[in-house]
């Protein structure tokens, strides 16, 4: 079966197919597996820890002095800023008559960040002399990346390329900043990205099969 949309302009638009949903769920599962694999290879093993640490140290040494300014941007990441962003996303989704997207955005952000914090507590970093405090995954990168994913989810399709570019840029800045400042190792950044990818894909898979490029209410029909 294929989902069909009656758009406000009278044209029909295909919705999310069962095949697409299956692909999104597969991406979510692969992302979850990627989180586990990243931890096992780069955090749980002595060789992985040494490599991870070496990359962070080299990044810190190679970073220009101006990179310290990124700390001011990273300091913006906080619970109030997350709540404010979710409020904006809700307004955008409601104005598009898509409250389901507001819910999806909230689930993506909250789910990803709760997962990251739980992993920080539940996972143990073996002590080989490089520090035993678990920093996997990065909380800062998770926040920025999840907000970028949520913004992409609630915006109309015509502006999604711009939102995607802006979100990716913000995520890269957060990743580079936390690495160059010595806050996180590459494994922490990769783990955060995979956590967000998993939640974004899972949420997109279960959202109603309606298109993201319309504004206003449309009627959904099913054809064989």
Cα 77 vs. chain centroid, distance in angstroms? 14
C-beta separation of 73 from 64 below 8 A: no
Contact 56, 212 (CB under 8 A): no
- Taking residues 33-56, report their average pLDDT: 97
CA 61, CA 218: separation in Å to the nearest integer?
Answer: 55
For the chain, give every domain's residue range: 1-16+213-224, 20-208
Task: Please give the average per-residue pLDDT across 107-130, as a whole number.
Answer: 97
pLDDT of 13 over the 60 cut: no
Range with lowest mean pLDDT among 33-42, 63-72, 74-83: 63-72
Taking 90 as the threshold, does the pLDDT of residue 5 lie above it? no
Q: Is the pLDDT of residue 91 over 50?
A: yes
Instruction: Quote the pLDDT of residue 72.
Output: 83
> Can you tell me the distance from the alpha carbon of 107 to that of 135, in angstroms, rounded to the nearest whole number?
23
Number of H helices, E strands in the chain: 8, 3
What is the reported pLDDT for 18?
A: 83
pLDDT above 90: residue 46: yes
What would the pLDDT profile of 129-140 be if each residue is shown by its tens digit? Answer: 999 999 999 999
- Does pLDDT of 191 surpass 90? yes
Burial class of residue 145 in the structure, from the number of CB atoms within 10 Å of its CB (0-12 exposed, 13-18 middle, 19+ buried)? buried
Cβ contacts of residue 178 below 8 Å, gap of 6+? 74, 138, 140, 141, 184, 188, 189
Collect all residues with Cβ–Cβ distance below 8 Å to 92 and sequence separation of at least 6.
Answer: 154, 155
> What are 124-182's pLDDT values in tens digits?
999 999 999 999 999 999 999 999 999 999 999 999 999 999 999 999 999 999 999 99
40: pLDDT strictly greater than 70: yes
| CA 115, 121, 127, 132 torsion-angle sign | positive
């Amino acid at each position: 079966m294929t989902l069909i949309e009656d758009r406000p302009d009278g044209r029909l638009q295909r919705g999310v197919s069962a095949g697409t949903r299956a692909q999104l769920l597969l991406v979510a599962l692969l992302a979850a597996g990627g989180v586990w694999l990243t931890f096992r290879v780069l955090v749980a093993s002595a060789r992985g820890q040494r490599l991870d640490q070496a990359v962070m140290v080299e990044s810190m040494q190679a970073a220009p002095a101006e990179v310290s300014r990124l700390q001011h941007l990273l300091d913006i990441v906080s619970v109030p800023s997350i709540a404010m962003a979710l409020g904006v996303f809700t307004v955008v989704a409601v104005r598009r008559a898509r409250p389901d997207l507001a819910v999806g955005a909230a689930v993506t952000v909250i789910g990803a960040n709760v997962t990251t914090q739980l992993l920080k507590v539940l996972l143990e970093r073996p002590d080989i002399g490089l520090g035993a405090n678990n920093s996997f995954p990065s909380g800062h990168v998770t926040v920025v990346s999840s907000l970028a994913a949520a913004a992409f989810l609630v915006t109309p399709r015509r502006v999604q390329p711009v939102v995607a570019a802006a979100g990716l840029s913000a995520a890269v800045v957060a990743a580079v900043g936390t690495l160059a400042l010595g806050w996180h190792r590459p494994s922490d950044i990769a783990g955060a990205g995979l956590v967000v990818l998993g939640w974004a894909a899972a949420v997109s898979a279960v959202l109603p099969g309606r298109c993201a490029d319309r504004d206003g209410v449309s009627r959904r029909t099913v054809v064989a």
